[in-house]
Amino acid sequence: MKLWDKGFSIDKKIELFTVGNDREIDMHIAKYDVQASLAHAIMLETIGIISSDELEQLKSGLKVLAESIEAGTFTIEDTFEDVHSKIEHELTKTLGDVGKKIHTARSRNDQVLVALQLYYKENLQIINDKTKTFFDTLLDLAETHKTKLLPGYTHLQVAMPSSFGLWFSAYGELLIDDVYVLNAVSKITDQNVLGSAAGYGSSFPIDREITTKELGFSTLKYNVVAAQLSRGKSERAIASALGGLCNTMARFAMDICLYMSQNFGFITFPDELTTGSSIMPHKKNPDVFELIRGKCNKIQALHSEMLLITNNLPSGYHRDFQLLKENIINAFEDVKDILDIFTYAIQQIIVKDIDLNDEKYQYLFTVDSINNLVVDGMSFREAYQKIGSQVQDGTYQPDLGKEHSHIGSIHNLCLDKINKKYPK
């Protein structure tokens, strides 16, 4: 069954190519199509297109479908193009002619559009919630390990003293910036596009304010052409937001892989969180963090894909839009999984004691030594040259006791202020 069936069969090769794997991907948006169909039915009854009895029948039929989706028993057989045709078929099979009325004043275009918009809206909130859990975990770790010093690096060369508190809370505070962007994108998706039909509205006197209220959107995408033009634009914004969050996680995962190696040896994890080698029995590999890094880098490339698929398309609907669904939905599912596993794993990190008297760290405190001389009255340039000379002739002796007291430094992490800054 096809929603556009006109009484002839399409070439099977064309059908396979045009349908692609929509059936599999559409399982992610099935519940949202049911939600939108219910809101649409309520609106149709309000404006007198269907009767109150017909509405009750549609409500009953849609409830059964919603329950089967929730239970995991709902399927889209290969006799259907997509979830939208499957749902209409089930309603028609159960309710007869009443089921056929659900498509009144709708196009498959705005069915897809509103279902995706609902999926994006809900899953952005889920990602936001999971990011907050990750953030809280990092700030807890920063508090727990705030007194433990850690060598800081620039150009991968030993540079200045850092701390585990500074390291954990650095990535925690970066997440705040990512949430700012997620919240902005959430506003983009919190607009009702249902009622745009094929992109030019309907001659039926539909009431889009009703569906906006029923679906819980904050506002409408008022212009019906703008509603269709939002397809691709929303995905580009989402891909950018998810990519920013993934950039933070990928860099953090890289630090973990680096710091876990024997050449650094700053951290480790319980054996059960690592993997081994098929030929080297001593190996303890951080595979989970390498996969986090790889998956996050893959998601960062998504924005370019969304841009290239939709760039310079004229107004109106184009089948190119079908290609947006798979990878944007997969990105959402991957980001949720990444946040869960990252939070789970990082909670079990083992912070090692680092001997800062080790010879390789002997110049970690040169800046502190220069600053001591400046405090005693020497100019910075003279102090720099003096300590530089000591480094060159091998007479430099570090001072390990200087505290960094300014806002955001090793001994003044401002964790409470970072926590308060997190967006509501």
269 and 403 co-located in one domain: no
pLDDT number for residue 4: 43
Asked whether 131 and 245 are in contact (CB, 8 A), the reply is yes
Query: Helix crossing, 30-46 with 52-71: angle to 10°?
Result: 170
How would you class 64 by CB atoms within 10 Å of its CB: exposed for 0-12, middle for 13-18, buried for 19 or more?
middle
* CATH number of the domain where residue 34 is located: 1.10.275.10
Residue indicated by tokens 């054996």:
271
92 and 193 co-located in one domain: no
pLDDT number for residue 371: 94
81 and 198 co-located in one domain: no
Asked whether 217 and 191 are in contact (CB, 8 A), the reply is yes
Task: Write the pLDDT tens digit of every residue in 106-121.
Answer: 998 999 999 999 999 9
- Return the sign of the alpha-carbon dihedral for residues 204, 210, 212, 218: positive
- For residue 227, how many other CB atoms are within 10 A of its CB? 27
Locate 120 and state its tokens: 């994006």
96 and 177 co-located in one domain: no
The maximal CA–CA distance of the chain, rounded, in angstroms, is 94
The whole-angstrom separation of Cα 220 and Cα 213 is 10
| Residue 374 in domain | yes
Q: What is the pLDDT along the chain (424 residues), one digit of tens a residue?
A: 555 454 546 656 666 665 566 788 899 999 999 999 999 999 999 999 999 999 999 999 999 999 999 999 999 988 888 899 999 999 999 999 999 999 999 998 999 999 999 999 999 999 999 999 999 999 999 999 999 999 999 999 999 999 999 999 999 999 999 999 999 999 999 999 999 999 999 999 999 999 999 999 999 999 999 999 999 999 999 999 999 999 999 999 999 999 999 999 999 999 888 876 667 777 788 899 999 999 999 999 999 999 999 998 999 888 888 889 999 999 999 999 999 999 999 999 999 999 988 999 999 999 999 999 999 999 999 999 999 999 999 999 998 878 899 999 999 999 999 999 999 8
pLDDT number for residue 319: 85
pLDDT number for residue 20: 61
How would you class 82 by CB atoms within 10 Å of its CB: exposed for 0-12, middle for 13-18, buried for 19 or more?
buried
81 and 127 co-located in one domain: no
| Residue 413 in domain | yes
Among 54, 75, 104, the domain-final residue is: 104
pLDDT number for residue 373: 95
Alpha carbon 251 to chain centroid, angstroms: 15
399 and 329 co-located in one domain: no
Residue indicated by tokens 């839009």:
321
Among 351, 376, 401, the domain-final residue is: 351
Asked whether 232 and 310 are in contact (CB, 8 A), the reply is yes
- Extended strands (E) in 242-362: 267-268, 350-351
The whole-angstrom separation of Cα 267 and Cα 132 is 24
290 and 267 co-located in one domain: yes
- Domain hosting 261: range is 109-144+164-206+218-351
Nearest-10 Cα torsion for 363, 367, 370, 375:
-140
18 and 93 co-located in one domain: yes
pLDDT number for residue 18: 58
- DSSP codes of every residue in 103-145: GTT--HHHHHHHHHHHHHHHHHHHHHHHHHHHHHHHHHHHHHT
